[in-house]
């Protein structure tokens, strides 16, 4: 088994989901008492969130690159960044180490191709929805990507930071997100990407498929561990 190096804590609420999903999948595939061989660098999210608000992506990238270097030095064979938004600085992390990074968008693209979904909605933080670091990667894979309007983007961003990152799941927010998905579906989205690792916490029930990047990324980590 290859050793995974996880960079998490953004937020720790979703990072613990990664830990559980990865270990359960290793056990399912290998059986017996097998569990995941991994290292976790769980960072303090507060300074990163402040750098996000200040658009100081350079500082945030350097901070996560240092975490990556520590994981490489501790024996990680590859890296996974347990957040969608901070893949904005993925190139900075990759440049700091010699080991590969399993990009969170890659298994999402695979899932869309397998299910033949060509037009997808994208939900996440406002950075993920409005900047092109994530959306452009999907579009380069010949996917047509829809994002919500400004009001819905603000609603989704608020739910993520003010509630989910604090471990709070509010019924009103479940309904709000389901409504956002419904509007994307009305625009032609065949599926909706939950492009924030906390959004799966809401457990939304929708008419169109939801592609949970946390679940997809965790499975891709296991694929790499057992390759």
Q: How does pLDDT run along the chain (227 residues), one tens digit per residue?
A: 999 999 999 999 999 999 999 999 999 999 999 999 999 999 999 999 999 999 999 999 999 999 999 999 999 999 999 999 999 999 999 999 999 999 999 999 999 999 999 999 999 999 999 999 999 999 999 999 999 999 999 999 999 999 999 999 999 999 999 999 999 999 999 999 999 999 999 999 999 999 999 999 999 999 999 99
Predicted local distance difference test score (pLDDT) of residue 175? 98
Q: Catalytic one among 15, 83, 125, 213?
A: 83
What Cα–Cα distance (Å) separates residue 47 from each residue in 5, 35, 52, 57? 21, 32, 9, 11
Per-residue model confidence (pLDDT) at position 2: 98
**3-state SS, residue 3:** coil
Domains in the chain, please, with CATH? 4-103+216-225 (3.40.50.1860), 105-213 (3.40.50.1860)
In 26-96, at which residue ranges do the beta strands (DSSP E only) sit? 38-42, 78-81
Active site includes 112? no
- pLDDT computed for residue 105 by the predictor: 97
pTM of the model: 0.96
User: Please, which residues have CB within 8 angstroms of residue 78's CB and are 6 or more apart in sequence?
Assistant: 2, 4, 5, 99, 100, 101, 102, 224
pLDDT value of position 9 = 95
CB 109 within 8 A of CB 216: no
Say what the pLDDT of residue 107 is: 97
Q: Identify the active-site residue in 112, 196, 197, 204.
A: 196
The burial class, CB within 10 Å (0-12 / 13-18 / 19+), for 123 is buried
Percent of the chain that is helix, strand, coil (3-state, to 5): 60, 15, 30
pLDDT of residue 33: 98
Torsion of CA 182, 186, 188, 193, to 10 degrees: -10
Distance in angstroms (rounded) separating the CA atoms of residues 24 and 12: 18
Are 160 and 198 contacting, i.e. CB atoms less than 8 angstroms apart?
Answer: yes
Q: Supply the DSSP symbol for 101.
A: B
**Contact call for residues 6 and 102 (beta carbons, < 8 A):** no
What pLDDT, on a 0 to 100 scale, did the predictor assign at position 166? 95
* Active-site residue flag, 197: no
């Amino acid at each position: 088994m290859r050793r995974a190096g996880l960079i998490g804590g953004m937020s720790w609420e979703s990072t613990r989901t990664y830990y559980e999903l990865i270990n359960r999948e290793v056990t399912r595939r290998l059986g017996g008492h097998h569990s995941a061989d991994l290292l976790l660098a769980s960072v303090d999210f507060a300074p990163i969130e402040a750098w996000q608000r200040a658009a100081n992506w350079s500082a945030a990238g350097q901070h996560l690159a240092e975490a990556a270097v520590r994981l490489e030095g501790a024996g990680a064979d590859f890296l996974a960044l347990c957040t969608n938004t901070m893949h904005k600085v993925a190139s900075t992390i990759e440049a700091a180490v010699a080991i590969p990074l399993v990009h969170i968008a890659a298994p999402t693209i695979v899932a869309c191709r397998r299910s033949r979904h060509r037009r997808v909605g994208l939900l996440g933080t406002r950075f993920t929805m409005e900047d092109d670091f994530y959306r452009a990667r999907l579009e380069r894979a010949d996917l047509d990507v829809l994002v919500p309007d400004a009001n819905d983007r603000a609603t989704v961003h608020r739910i993520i930071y003010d509630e989910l990152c604090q471990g709070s799941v509010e019924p009103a927010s479940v309904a709000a997100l389901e409504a956002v998905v419904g509007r994307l579906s009305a625009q032609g989205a065949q599926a909706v990407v939950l492009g924030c690792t906390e959004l799966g916490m809401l457990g939304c029930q929708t008419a169109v498929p939801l592609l949970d990047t946390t679940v997809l990324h965790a499975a891709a980590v296991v694929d790499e561990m057992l390759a």
